[in-house]
Chains A and B, each alone.
Chain A
Amino acid sequence: DAKTTQPNSMESNEEEPVHLPCNHSTISGTDYIHWYRQLPSQGPEYVIHGLTSNVNNRMASLAIAEDRKSSTLILHRATLRDAAVYYCILDAYSGAGSYQLTFGKGTKLSVIP
């Protein structure tokens, strides 16, 4: 299984940008990079995904290294609601169109008021 490496925890001050790193050195050419987050007592929530180019949406930005061996999730202004566990996941196509997301332990983000 394609694996990712993330720091166990990070802290950020409220209203400051947050850069959450992820290493995925064994990524294959067709693997998409996904980010999900899980707030306390909730199911995971999709944040963003990309393949090769940087991506932006209303929640965050995803910066993908040129060699695709690492990526960074950027929250432009952290709010208290952004305190969650953030998972970096590789969507490795296993054939026949099926999905199988492999979650690691993620990064627990704390936001300080």
Chain B
Amino acid sequence: KAGVTQTPRYLIKTRGQQVTLSCSPISGHRSVSWYQQTPGQGLQFLFEYFSETQRNKGNFPGRFSGRQFSNSRSEMNVSTLELGDSALYLCASSLARSNGLLSYEQYFGPGTRLTVT
């Protein structure tokens, strides 16, 4: 089956603009997570969505937001872009836990490379 897809793959924006990134999870996966990867901070968790609800959020400012649609596709938005937002943004999808003791692998997309100038 098809993997996680992310669009666009590359993006160049100017400081102060806003950007929307899109993620299509693997069919049947209802959990979608977003991560930011930079050389300095590594991979950092942004937020996780399940059934159109944000269930978990990392330590990022309110300029970073997201949403999930009924078909599990997800978007993340960054408003008022700053130079430090330049990063690789990764989306990951997973099966939903059926109880608190089960853990499933996450499948990552190729990422969107955002450059802010």
Is B90 an interface residue, CB under 8 A from the partner? yes
Top 4 A-B residue pairs of the complex, sorted by shortest distance between their CB atoms = A43-B108, A103-B43, A98-B55, A32-B103
CB within 8 Å of B: which of A88-102? Answer: 91, 93-102
| Interface magnitude class on chain B | 20 to 34
Q: Residues of B contacting A32 with CB < 8 Å? A: 103
- Which of the residues A45, A49, A99, A105 comes within 8 Å of B108, measured between beta carbons? A45
Q: Is the CB of A99 within 8 A of B33?
A: yes
Chain A: residues with Cβ within 8 Å of the partner, total of 27
Given contacts A49-B103, A98-B55, A99-B94, contact A43 B111 (CB under 8 A): yes
Bound CA–CA A32/B33 (angstroms): 18
Residue of A nearest to B111 (CB): A43
Which of A's residues lie within 8 Å of B, judged by CB? 30, 32, 34, 36, 42-46, 49, 51, 87, 91, 93-106
Q: Residues of B contacting A101 with CB < 8 Å? A: 33, 35, 45, 92, 106
Chain A nearest CB, measured from B31 CB (Å): 6
Q: Is the CB of A43 within 8 A of B56?
A: no
Main secondary structure of the interface of A (DSSP, over half): loop
Main secondary structure of the interface of B (DSSP, over half): strand
- Which of the residues B31, B43, B50, B58 comes within 8 Å of A44, measured between beta carbons? B43
Q: Is the CB of B103 within 8 A of A42?
A: no
Q: Is the CB of A43 within 8 A of B100?
A: no
Bound CA–CA A100/B105 (angstroms): 12
Bound CA–CA A25/B21 (angstroms): 37
Bound CA–CA A43/B108 (angstroms): 6
CB within 8 Å of A: which of B90-104? Answer: 90, 92, 94, 96-97, 100-101, 103
Q: Is the CB of B108 within 8 A of A30?
A: no
Q: Is the CB of B105 within 8 A of A49?
A: yes
User: B22-43 interface mask toward A, CB cutoff 8 Å, 1 = contact, 0 = none?
Assistant: 0000000001010100000011
Bound CA–CA A79/B111 (angstroms): 25
- Which of the residues A42, A87, A102 comes within 8 Å of B45, measured between beta carbons? A102
